[in-house]
Amino acid sequence: MSALKVGIIGIGNQGGAYADYFTKHPEFDIEIVAVADINPDRLKWAEETVPQAARFDDAIAMLDSGLLEGCMINVPHYDHPTYAIECIKRGIHVMVDKPAGVYTKQVREMNAVADEHPEVVFGMMFNQRTTGVYRKLRELVQSGEYGALRRMNWLITSWYRPQAYYDSGAWRATWAGEGGAVLMNQCPHQLDLLQWICGMPVKVQSHVHYGKWHDIETEDDATVYMEFANGATGVFITSTGDACGSNRLEIQMDKARFVVENDTLYITVYDMPEPEFTKTSTEPFGVPGFTKEEYTGDLPPMPHSLVAKAWVAAIRGEGELIADGREGLNGTMLSNAMQLSTFLGREVTLPIDDELYYEELMKRVATSKTKGTVKSVFADTAGTFAGTK
């Protein structure tokens, strides 16, 4: 069977990495036949790096070229739903990079179009779902064997970025260009995993800080409190301002405690569920007996490629997606809820009011200051996404 003929919209850092990687790794059955970018320098890069690919300075022209069976979208976040919809309407299978969109209203519109075209395979690039420890953790939490979720805490400050990162593109960390920063650009991975593993919270109270550690107008630090339908609580802390930061996820269940850190899942299982132990123990300082084990699982060197491989298999009717594109709504809603709570200075409930968030976001877009003629700087993304570090 011939390789899937794929085009890429946006060949900046991530899109360029895909173009280069899949050209060098034909075993994934993806043939990069075309690329589109508005930056002449990137098209020149493509001419040298992926010479077999047709080059377009207009994405719609590429979609109408008849060259493509599938398309990967790697443009600034506001345009993810825009180009996904254009692909879907043309019957072109589509893989959208995270996040699904900047605000839930536009993501719902994208999903509605996808529902009208079930023949199109619509995937979301949630590459962290391929990591063994998170897959195992989801299995444990959702198995029912360990009782109910009681608490989750995620400290994810290993997304450190110096000012040079934000200065590398005029759109970065602006309300008009990116629609956010750490919650919109880096943490879609963790926000997706949070809801994939634990389910969606029903209440959010946040303290989000804008330009706290960098000269930017959007958020680079956030501390969020959450409540789930069963009364479980959660805390989510993230920042791009902590050099040598941490990535530690803790989940407390009735009969177990799970911790993911340093690419390892630490599993502590109690001899007796805590609700039963606390009612029957006669020792004032007693704790339930427990057993411990560690799980390392697999750590894919290029997790994006596994998502793409599953996408190709789904298109051929030989497998399932790692993440259906419609699932991107949940992570976007979590990000929006965290922002909205700080915008309004109060707790918000989920699902959020889509129109209210859009209105609040547009207030900020209206006063957003672009970075003018800043020349884009492109860098190798290797090592910025793999594993759980």
pLDDT (tens digit per residue) in 267-317? 999 999 999 999 999 999 999 999 999 999 877 778 999 999 999 999 999
pLDDT of residue 380: 52
Q: How far apart are CA 72 and CA 93, in angstroms?
A: 9
| Same domain, residue pair 156 and 262 | yes
pLDDT band at 378; cut points 50, 70, 90: very low
Q: Are 112 and 172 contained in the same domain?
A: no
Query: What distance in Å separates the CA atoms of residue 300 and residue 84, rounded to the nearest whole number?
Result: 27
Q: What is the pLDDT of residues 113-128, one digit of tens each?
A: 999 999 999 999 999 9
**Assigned domain for 383 exists:** no
pLDDT band at 38 (very low <50, low <70, confident <90, very high): very high
Residue 371: the pLDDT is: 62
305: which 2 tokens? 């490629």
| pLDDT at 383 (0 to 100) | 52
Verify that 336 and 233 share a domain, yes or no. yes
Q: Is there a domain that residue 377 lies in? A: no
- State residue 299's pLDDT score: 74
Q: Is 375 a member of any domain?
A: no
Look at residue 372 and tell me whether its pLDDT is greater than 60.
no
pLDDT at 104: 98
- The answer to whether residue 376 is domain-embedded is no
Burial class (CB in 10 A: 0-12, 13-18, 19+), 293: exposed
Residue 9 lies in a domain: yes
What average pLDDT is seen over the chain?
94
**Looking at the domain assignment, is residue 159 inside a domain?**
yes
Does residue 308 sit in the same domain as residue 160?
Answer: no
Q: What is the CATH number of the domain that holds 172?
A: 3.30.360.10
* 66 and 171 together in one domain: no
Looking at residues 79-105, what average pLDDT do you find?
Answer: 98
For the stretch 147-194, pLDDT in tens is 999 999 999 999 999 999 999 889 999 999 999 999 999 999 999 999
Mean pLDDT of 46-75: 98
Contacts of 109 (CB under 8 A, 6+ apart): 81, 85
Residues forming a β-bridge with 54: 34
Same domain, 214 and 362: yes
173, 97: one domain: no
Q: Is residue 344 part of a domain?
A: yes
Query: Considering only 38-47, 346-355, 378-387, which range has the smallest mean pLDDT?
Result: 378-387
**Is pLDDT above 60 for 381?**
no
pLDDT, position 388: 36
DSSP string computed for 98-113? SPS-SSHHHHHHHHHH
pLDDT greater than 60 at residue 361:
yes
Count of domains forming the chain: 2
Query: Residue 195 is which amino acid?
Result: Q
Look up the domain containing 111 and give its range. Answer: 4-128+302-324
Quick one: which of 245, 275, 250, 273 has its CA closest to 260? 250
Alpha helices in the chain (DSSP H): 13-24, 40-49, 59-63, 80-89, 104-116, 132-142, 163-166, 188-198, 274-280, 303-315, 328-344, 354-366
Percent of the chain exceeding pLDDT 90 equals 92
Radius of gyration, alpha carbons of the chain = 22
292 and 170 inside one domain: yes
Q: Is the pLDDT of residue 370 over 80?
A: no
DSSP for 205-252? Answer: EEEEEESSSSS-SSEEEEEEEEE-TTS-EEEEEEES--TT--EEEEEE
Query: Residues 143, 275: one domain?
Result: yes
Query: Which one has a higher pLDDT value, 376 or 361?
Result: 361
> What's the CATH code of the domain at 54?
3.40.50.720
CA distances (Å), origin 126, targets 8, 20, 173, 190, 231: 17, 20, 21, 9, 28
Cα distance between residue 116 and residue 187, in whole Å: 30
% residues pLDDT > 70 (the chain): 95
Residue 54 lies in a domain: yes
15/96 same-domain check? yes
Q: Output the pLDDT for position 272.
A: 97
pLDDT band at 385 (very low <50, low <70, confident <90, very high): very low
Residues 220 and 295 in one domain: yes
State whether 117 and 258 are in the same domain.
no
> pLDDT at residue 54 above 50?
yes
pLDDT at 314: 98
For tokens 């949940």, name the residue.
Answer: 330
